[in-house]
Every structure is written in structure tokens, then in C-alpha cells.
Structure 1
Amino acid sequence: MKKLVLKIFAIHILFVLVVACTIEEDNPADCQSTYEYLQDLKILIEDQAAESICTEGFECRSIAFGSKPCGGPWSYLVYSTSIDTLDLVDRVNDYNELEMTFNINCGAISDCAVVNPPTSLMCENNQCIAIY
């Protein structure tokens, strides 16, 4: 299972590098395929974070997730250290970088509302919960 996850991650890294280098400004086909890839990758990352559990042996954490066109993250992803956190952080960083490139090259727009990080995290029913 770990080998499969590593292979999928390696493919994602390669795709991120290729797409980041080849998105042509205002090319609808490139922008659409990158958007669809970002949506799939977002689901994969959220599913990975959702697999984490919190108990006495694990710590809850959060990470800025996504890249708004105006700057800053779209949200904060909450997870625990029960999963491979290095893998998750790498995926989130790659996702954020690709979304930033997409925003610049494809003319993405959004609200410019600032999304604040959680003020604290707590464990409830073996799930990490963000407190704002």
C-alpha cells in the first residue's frame, strides 16, 4: 500500500512540474485540465487528512491549504500525526504552488477575504477539530 501511495505521489509531483512549466496564459484547454487536476488532487489530500485520528499518542495540526488569487490560503486543513505528515505536507505544498501558478496564468479571481488559521485544535470523537 505504501509503495502505491509513493508511486501516486511521484506521478503527482511529475504532473505538477510539467503543468507548472507548460500552462499557457489564457489557454482555456490548459486551464481547464489544470483546474480538473487541482480538484482531483484536492480530494486526494482531503481524504488523506480525513484518515487521521487523534488519541493520546497523536497531535492535532493544521496547514494552510490552497492559494487564493488575492493571496493567502482558501482554508486550513486539519489533521493528526497518526498519518504520514511529511507526505501530506509535501502534497499540500505542491498543491498550493500549482494553484498559485494556475491563478497567475489562467486569470483566476476570488474574494480577497483573509482566512485566519484556527486559534486552537482539539480532539473530539477521535477527530481533530479546528476552533476559530
Structure 2
Amino acid sequence: MKKLLLLLFTACLFLTAFTCEDDATTTQEDELQELNASKKAIEDLAATSVCNENTMCKFIALGSKPCGGPWSYLVYSTSIDVEKLENMVATYNKKEADFNKKWGIASDCAYAMPPTSVNCENNTCVAVY
């Protein structure tokens, strides 16, 4: 009986010693830095767009407020990889919504108004409100 208990104890000790721990736990600050980096990449991509007679100016909702809706609208032209930008924004918006829920983030519930139109001025898309 003692041998069986010793064997069980050794097996449990062995299994406990080699269990995997989740070293990938992130803090709120880590996640916020990741969100900020993603947002900057999105804004940098949009900033490379230029408008002219061959491109069209557009806008897209950016961010996810805890109360719902976007934080702002990002203006860009079709001179860039629009599908890539839209995918980046969708991913960012989802991650920010998850972040808000996970960390209990609060904000004002003011509605961010979309532009009424977007014009091309000096090869740059400009939002009109």
C-alpha cells in the first residue's frame, strides 16, 4: 500500500511539474499598446492615399465605443488597397470592442457623426460635416 501511495504521489508530482502554464497572459496596458499600434498602422495606410480624377474618396467607421458606435470616421481614397484597409479596420474594431468588454471600459455615449460627404482637395480626401 505504501508503494502504491508513493507511486501515486510521484506521478502527481511529475504531472504537476510538467503542466503548461499560460505564459501569454496579457495586461490591460499590453492590450492597449497593441490596439494603439494597430490604429496607427491603419491611419498610416490611409494617409498614403491620394485622390484625383481616377480615384474616389471614401470614409469608414473607426473604433468601438463602449456605449456603441465608432469613435470617429477615417477618410481615405481608393488609391490604396481598400480591401486591406477594410479588413484592418474590422479587426481593430472587433478587438477594441472585446477590450472594452473585458476591461470594463467606459466612455461618453456621444454619437460620432459621419461626414455628410468627402471631397478631394489638393490630392487629399477631406471630410465635410
Q: TM-score range by the shorter chain?
A: 0.7 to 0.9
- Letter aligned with residue 123 of structure 1: C
Which consecutive segments of 4 or more residues in structure 1 shift more than 6 A?
none
Partner of 1:85: 82
Structure having the higher Rg: 2
Identify the match of residue 108 of structure 1 among 83, 101, 105.
105
- Letter aligned with residue 75 of structure 1: S
**What are the within-5 Å matches in structure 2 for residues 4-19 of structure 1?**
none
With CA pairs under 8 Å and 6+ residues apart, which has the higher RCO, 1 or 2? 1
3-state DSSP class of the match of 1:93?
helix
Question: 2-side partners of 1:60 and 1:71: how far apart?
Answer: 25
Structure 2: segments with no counterpart, 5+ residues: 1-21
Residue 114 of structure 1: CA displacement? 0.1
Partner of 1:128: 125
- Letter aligned with residue 96 of structure 1: N
Identify the match of residue 75 of structure 1 among 56, 72, 75.
72
Structure 1: segments with no counterpart, 5+ residues: 1-21
Residue 32 of structure 1: CA displacement? 1.3
Question: 1-side partners of 2:106 and 2:123: how far apart?
Answer: 37
CA RMSD of aligned residues (A): 1.4
Percent identity over paired residues: 52
Partner of 1:42: 39
Residue 30 of structure 1: CA displacement? 2.4
Greater fraction helix? 1
Question: 2-side partners of 1:120 and 1:89: how far apart?
Answer: 19
